[in-house]
Amino acid sequence: MEQKIQELRAAAQAEISGAADLKELDGVRVKFLGKKGELTSLLRGMNQVSAEDRPKIGKVVNEARAEIEKLIADKNSALKAAALQNKLASEKIDVTLPGRKVHCGHLHPLTLTLNRIKEIFIQMGYSVEEGPEVETDYFNFEALNLPKDHPARDMQDSFYITEEILLRTQTSPVQARTMQKNTGNAPIRMIAPGRVYRRDDFDASHSPMFHQVEGLVVDRGVTFGDLIGTLDFFCKQMFGENTNIRLRPSFFPFTSVSTECDCSCPICHGRDSNCKVCHGAGWLEILGAGEVHPKVLEMSGYSPSVVSGFAFGMGVERIAMIKYGIDDLRLFFENDLRFLNQF
Ligand code: DAH
């Protein structure tokens, strides 16, 4: 009996020290000390031990029990400590590691330019109107005093979808749409930004798709002087206080007195013959404008004897190229990050 107890003790010792985790250790405890455990069954066999041996054997059993209990308790604390160490090691955070850089996008230079143009006109009380990019021949041409056989239609090589529907070649149709929406009511003070399409090559200064901003003012007593003042204010706001404008006579079917407006070169102010923006000319064409043609007013429900107006149309790419000193329009559409990241 005594030998059996010693064997059991040794076996328990080995299994306790071999337990890899708390669960295994608990299994060992149940195996030896549990109700049906090996040591417990040994104790149950005590009645077969003779009365004189009983105290001695009892003592050995109790010692064995106490020792196994202590071994289990010790192992239990050791396993718990090891688990804590593991947890700490695996959850360790190195607060001295340099942070990861978050790459943040930003607005495209054309969007920046468009936003600025809008801002300038909104502060003058203009509304921002929209029109469809797929437009009718009527709004794109006819309502703007360009009948079907008008030679000026050739100035704008168009993408036709059907005989009567095309991709708009200019934002000017939004003039007619806005007037017709307002049914003879004045004043109108609006700009219309958006994409336009022409059958042009894709080169440093042309693109089959580009952006324009149209402007229209209709009211009683609007004069050419109001147009000049507006354009001058716009240029100074856009390119700087010391920018000047210059007007040249021109022709547009939808204006009766027509002009092309240049601004003084904001990059070199005409002082650099190698200037990559004005090439030494000192002036840059920025938009077409004029007094609204009486026929255009009439066709959209306004009486030229009561109201007058002015209109203008500018290319957003062109304005952006001047503003940022860019010499190739294709850069806006190639999405090269080396270019875009500069804004
Ligand atoms: N629509 C013209 C173009 O695309 C620009 C323009 C010129 C618009 C004169 C106007 C204007 O409103 O009055 O070339």
Question: pLDDT tens for residues 50-70?
Answer: 888 888 888 888 888 888 889
pLDDT of residue 155: 67
85 and 113 inside one domain: no
Q: Is residue 102 included in any domain, yes or no?
A: no
pLDDT of residue 58: 82
pLDDT of residue 330: 96
- pLDDT tier at 196, thresholds 50, 70, 90: very high
Question: Shortest CA distance to 286 belongs to which of 264, 257, 254?
Answer: 264
51 and 184 inside one domain: no
The sheet carrying 209-219 orders its strands as 127-128, 188-197, 209-219, 308-315, 283-292, 255-264, 245-250
134 and 239 inside one domain: yes
pLDDT of residue 55: 83
Q: Is residue 99 included in any domain, yes or no?
A: no
- pLDDT tier at 38, thresholds 50, 70, 90: confident
241 and 119 inside one domain: yes
Q: Which atom of ligand 1 is nearest to the CA of 255?
A: 13
Q: Is residue 27 included in any domain, yes or no?
A: yes
Dihedral sign (CA 317, 154, 278, 206): positive
- pLDDT surpasses 80 at 97: yes
Which of 27, 61, 90 lies at the terminal end of a domain, its last residue?
90
70 and 138 inside one domain: no
Q: What is the DSSP letter of 160?
A: B
Q: Is residue 52 included in any domain, yes or no?
A: yes
314 and 205 inside one domain: yes
Choice from 141, 196, 254, 318 to test ligand 1 binding pocket (greatest atom count within 8 A of CB): 254
Spatial separation of the C-alpha atoms in residues 319 and 338, rounded to whole Å: 21
- pLDDT tier at 180, thresholds 50, 70, 90: very high
Please compute, for residue 292, the number of CA atoms within 13 A of its CA located in the half-sphere on the CB side: 35
Residue 343 Cα to ligand 1 middle (Å): 29
Q: Which residues line ligand 1 (CB under 6 A)?
A: 170, 172, 214, 252, 254-255, 288-290, 311-313
**What is the residue-averaged pLDDT of the chain?**
92
80 and 151 inside one domain: no
* pTM flag (> 0.85): no
pLDDT of residue 243: 95
Q: Is residue 100 included in any domain, yes or no?
A: no
Higher pLDDT among residues 259 and 40, named by residue:
259
pLDDT of residue 326: 93
Ligand 1, atom 7: closest residue by C-alpha: 288
Q: What is the span of the domain harbouring residue 192?
A: 109-340
- pLDDT tier at 312, thresholds 50, 70, 90: very high
- How many structural domains are present in the chain? 2
274 and 309 inside one domain: yes
State the CATH number of the domain containing residue 291: 3.30.930.10
27 and 115 inside one domain: no
